[in-house]
C-alpha cells in the first residue's frame, strides 16, 4: 500500500523506532528490499538517487515505484533522494513520487530556503512530502560528496529553515557520512538533541552504512525518525553479483545469477530493519 509518510514518521516518533530508507539501483535490488520489508512487516521507504532516476528515466521510475507501492502489503513510500535540482523534484512530483528531497545544503541559508520553498509549493498542492537538508552530510558516496570541516548543523539555521518553509522532515549534518567510514563515525549526539528540542518536524539521519547498531539506537532515542541506507545495498549487490558470476561458468542466465544476490541484499535489509526497530510496525493489512 502507498504509505502516508507523515503518519509513518509520527508513528515512529511515538514508538521510538525509525523508518528505514533504502537506496535502490534497479528493479532487482528494489524487489529484494520490498520482499525483505514485507517479510519483516516493516514500513519502508524506497529511494532513487538522481543518478538512478535520470538513467532509468523519471517517468519509468515513477511508474514502477507507484505500481510496487500499490502492490505491497506493507506501507511503502517511493522517495526521490538528494535532488539538488528543483526541476527534478517537480518531475518526480509529476510522476507519482509521494516524497522528494530537495538538497540545497551546499548553498547559503537564503538560497536553501528559496529552493525548498519552490519545491514545497509544487509538492504540497498534491500532498507530496518534502525533506530538506541543513548542515552537510560528509564523505564520498554516490548520494553526495563533501569533505569540508563545517558540516555541523547550526540550531538557529535549522529553526530558520523550518520556520521559513513548510517542510515535512529535515536531514541534519551531525557528523554522519555517505559511503564507508574511515574509522568509527563521530556523531554529535548533543547537537542532535538540541535540534530535536528546537524543531517540531521529523529528523532524518543520512549515511547509515557503517554506523554501529548502538549509535543508530541512540540517534533514534534522541529524535531521529528516518534512517537512510545506501552504500551497503549497492556494494552487497555488486560484490555478490561478481561472486555469482565467477562461480556461474559460461553463458549464465540472468535470474540464476540474480536470485541468490537478492537473497543477500534481503539479509542486509533485514539487519537494518531490526536496527531501526521497524519490524512488525507496518499498519498494512498482512
Ligand atoms: P550511505 O550510502 O552512507 O548508507 O548513505 C545513504 C544516504 O544517506 C542516502 O541519502
Active-site residue list:
81
| Mean per-residue pLDDT of the chain | 94
Sheet strand arrangement including 177-178: 144-146, 138-141, 177-178
Q: Extract the residue ranges of the chain whose pLDDT is less than 70.
A: 140-149, 284-286
Q: Which of 145, 229, 265, 275 for a ligand 1 pocket mutation test, highest count of atoms within 8 Å of Cβ? A: 229
d(CA 199, CA 9): 15
- Cα 46 to averaged position of ligand 1 atoms, centre (Å): 12
pLDDT the model gives residue 5: 97
**Torsion, Cα of 275, 219, 12, 86 (10° steps):** -110
Q: Which of 19, 23, 52 for a ligand 1 pocket mutation test, highest count of atoms within 8 Å of Cβ? A: 23
Give the ranges where the chain is alpha helix by DSSP (H).
5-15, 27-40, 50-56, 58-71, 86-94, 109-125, 155-164, 189-198, 213-221, 231-248, 254-276
Digit-coded pLDDT (tens) for 248-265: 989 999 999 999 999 999
- Cα 139 to averaged position of ligand 1 atoms, centre (Å): 10
pLDDT the model gives residue 147: 67
- Cα 230 to averaged position of ligand 1 atoms, centre (Å): 4
DSSP state of 251: S
Digit-coded pLDDT (tens) for 57-92: 999 999 999 999 999 999 999 999 999 999 999 999
Within 6 Å (CB) of ligand 1, which residues are found? 23, 81-82, 141, 143, 178-179, 206-209, 228-232
| Conformation bin of residue 139: beta by default, left when phi > 0, alpha when psi is -120 to 50 | left
Which atom of ligand 1 is least distant from the CA of 177? 3
- Cα 252 to averaged position of ligand 1 atoms, centre (Å): 32
Which atom of ligand 1 is least distant from the CA of 209? 4
pLDDT the model gives residue 151: 78
pLDDT the model gives residue 181: 87
Q: Which of 79, 209, 224, 269 for a ligand 1 pocket mutation test, highest count of atoms within 8 Å of Cβ? A: 209
Amino acid at each position: 500500500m502507498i504509505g502516508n509518510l507523515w503518519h509513518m514518521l509520527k508513528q515512529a516518533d511515538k514508538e521510538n523506532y525509525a523508518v528505514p530508507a533504502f537506496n535502490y539501483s534497479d528493479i532487482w535490488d528494489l524487489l529484494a528490499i520490498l520482499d525483505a520489508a514485507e517479510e519483516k512487516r516493516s514500513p519502508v521507504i524506497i529511494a532513487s538517487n538522481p543518478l538512478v532516476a535520470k538513467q532509468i528515466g523519471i517517468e519509468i521510475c515513477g511508474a514502477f515505484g507507484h505500481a510496487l507501492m500499490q502492490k505491497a502489503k506493507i506501507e511503502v513510500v517511493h522517495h526521490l533522494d538528494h535532488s539538488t535540482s528543483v526541476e527534478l523534484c517537480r518531475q518526480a512530483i509529476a510522476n507519482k513520487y509521494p516524497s522528494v528531497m530537495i538538497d540545497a545544503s551546499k548553498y547559503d541559508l537564503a538560497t536553501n530556503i528559496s529552493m525548498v520553498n519552490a519545491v514545497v509549493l509544487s509538492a504540497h498542492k498534491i500532498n507530496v512530502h518534502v525533506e530538506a537538508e541543513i548542515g552537510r552530510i560528509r564523505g564520498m558516496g554516490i548520494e553526495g560528496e563533501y569533505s569540508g570541516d563545517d558540516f555541523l548543523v547550526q540550531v538557529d539555521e535549522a529553526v530558520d529553515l523550518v520556520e521559513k518553509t513548510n517542510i515535512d522532515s529535515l536531514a541534519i549534518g551531525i557528523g554522519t557520512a555517505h559511503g564507508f567510514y574511515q574509522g568509527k563515525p563521530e556523531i554529535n549526539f548533543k547537537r542532535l538533541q538540541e535540534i530535536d528540542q528546537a524543531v517540531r518536524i521529523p529528523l532524518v539521519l543520512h549515511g547509515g552504512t557503517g554506523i554501529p547498531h548502538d549509535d543508530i539506537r541512540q540517534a533514534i532515542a534522541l529524535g531521529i525518525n528516518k534512517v537512510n541506507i545506501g552504500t551497503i545495498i549497492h556494494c552487497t549487490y555488486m560484490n555478490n553479483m561478481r561472486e555469482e558470476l565467477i562461480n556461474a561458468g559460461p553463458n549464465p542466465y540472468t535470474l540464476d545469477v540474480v536470485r541468490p544476490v537478492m537473497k543477500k541484499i534481503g539479509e542486509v535489509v533485514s539487519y537494518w530493519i531490526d536496527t531501526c526497530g521497524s519490524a512488525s510496525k507496518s499498519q498494512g493489512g498482512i
